[in-house]
Amino acid sequence: MFKKIMSQASNSSSEPTVKHGVEIVSTPSFSERLQSLIPWRRRTSAVPFSSGSQALLFILPGLIIYVVFVLFPIIGTIRYSFMEWTGFTEPEWIGLDNYRELMDDEDFIKAIQNNFFFSIFYTIIPILIGLFLVSLMSRSRLKGMFIFRAGLFVPQVMSPVVVGIIWRWLFDYSGPINRALSITGLQGVFESVGLLRRVTPWLGDFTYAPYAVGMVGTWVEYGLCMVLFLAGIQSISEELYDAAIVFGANPLQQFWFVTLPGLRQHVLVAFVLTFIAALRVFDLVFVLTRQGGPGRETIVTSILVYKNTFNLHRAGYGAAMAVVLATIIVVISAGVFWLQSRDSENA
């Protein structure tokens, strides 16, 4: 069939025309003759993928993956949260009993409190550090700045398990941090004012463990905030800084009245991303403090879900915890995006 079309296209020609007594033969191009012989080619739209069915065909693979691996598990988790299920036996419908038990579960309440405590280190402090670094790097023109930026972003791209192992070694009883404090004499200074004991077991102490874990979270998340703010500051017109300088604004005033208002949207995005990371943290705490120790000082909701589902074989109860945690994340994220939309409308 294709050979037949090609032969017709090569042999076809237009009717000759006569101009000033001279016969002129106008031959169309090969592509024009080929298009005229292929019916389906004439029916296609000039705009690619303008048909809804064609667009759906391209969306379908991703949609199937989303439905199978995301939507179905979410629906299944919500369903099992209303059941008593070990993960192996036949699920038994118990209604809201799992949620009623959650309200009186001291471990769950403590885990939620720890999640919000860690949000200070995962969200507030990284945003402040990111703003500080951006204010320095955006107004400075130093050689090797690209390498410096890349180095600051490294913790964000490292595996949380690797990060946990590294910092567990640093915080060890005889690790580099305690040795450095002892060598420099700072250990005695802190001990004299009551901040530290002679040798501090950072991850094994009920007082210091939450702060040690939170500090690692800050080290991981500030790189993300920095990159978001670096991208956002590129959209701030340089003329605004020139005008501020003309009016006598110092660097701090330039940051407060020019940079910070220009990064409002990016700060909200950074808040949502880092706050979600604080609420769903699992692997970092799991590696650092052996599933939330000492005691339950660093236990978080994700670890409780893991323990109840796999260790205690209470998959239904663990599903209820996961649903409550997901609901908190959705509600707070929706509130932040609502504030963001109002800010955009008023701008």
Q: Does pTM surpass 0.85?
A: no
Q: Which of 282, 288, 329 is nearest to 307 (CA)?
A: 282
CB 217 within 8 A of CB 195: no
Q: Using the CB atoms, write b or e for 10-31: b if 16+ within 10 Å.
A: eeeeeeeeeeeeeeeeeeeeee
pLDDT of residue 135: 84
DSSP code at position 202: G
- The first and second tokens of residue 216, run together, are 């690692």
- Tell me the one-letter amino acid at 46: A
Phi and psi at residue 200, in whole multiples of 5°? -100, 120
CB 289 within 8 A of CB 301: no
Q: Which of 261, 282, 269, 237 is nearest to 341 (CA)?
A: 269
- The first and second tokens of residue 171, run together, are 């915080």
The position carrying tokens 């720890």 is 114
Close Cβ partners of 255 (under 8 Å, ≥ 6 residues apart): 131, 135
> Taking the mean position of all CA atoms in its chain, how far away is CA 225?
11
Q: pLDDT tens digits, the chain, 347 residues: what are they?
A: 544 544 554 554 445 555 555 555 556 665 665 555 555 444 445 555 556 677 788 889 999 999 999 999 999 999 999 999 988 889 999 999 999 999 999 999 999 999 999 999 999 999 999 999 888 887 666 666 777 778 888 888 899 999 999 999 999 888 888 888 878 777 766 666 666 666 678 888 888 899 999 999 999 999 999 999 988 888 888 888 889 888 888 888 888 888 888 898 899 999 999 999 999 999 999 999 988 888 889 999 999 999 999 999 999 999 999 999 999 999 998 988 888 787 776 65
Q: Which of 81, 55, 57 is nearest to 319 (CA)?
A: 81
Q: What angle do CA 113, 114, 118 make, to 5 degrees?
A: 120
108-346 CATH pick, 3.40.190.10, 3.40.50.300, 1.10.3720.10, 3.40.462.20: 1.10.3720.10
pLDDT of residue 152: 84
The Cα 199–Cα 182 span in angstroms is 9
pLDDT of residue 68: 94
The Cα 236–Cα 141 span in angstroms is 17
Rounding to the nearest 10 degrees, give the CA dihedral for residues 250, 254, 255, 259.
-170
- The first and second tokens of residue 141, run together, are 């023109």
Strands in the chain per DSSP E: 17-19, 22-24, 83-84, 92-93
Domain ranges of the chain: 54-93, 108-346
Phi and psi at residue 92, in whole multiples of 5°? -120, 125
Q: What angle do CA 273, 116, 163 make, to 5 degrees?
A: 60
Angle between helices 209-233 and 106-119 (to 10 degrees): 40
Angle between helices 264-279 and 315-346 (to 10 degrees): 170
CB 152 within 8 A of CB 129: no
Q: What angle do CA 344, 139, 256 make, to 5 degrees?
A: 45
Strand 17-19 to 22-24 pairing: antiparallel
Beta partners for residue 19, in sequence order: 22
pLDDT of residue 2: 47
Close Cβ partners of 183 (under 8 Å, ≥ 6 residues apart): none
The position carrying tokens 């949207």 is 265
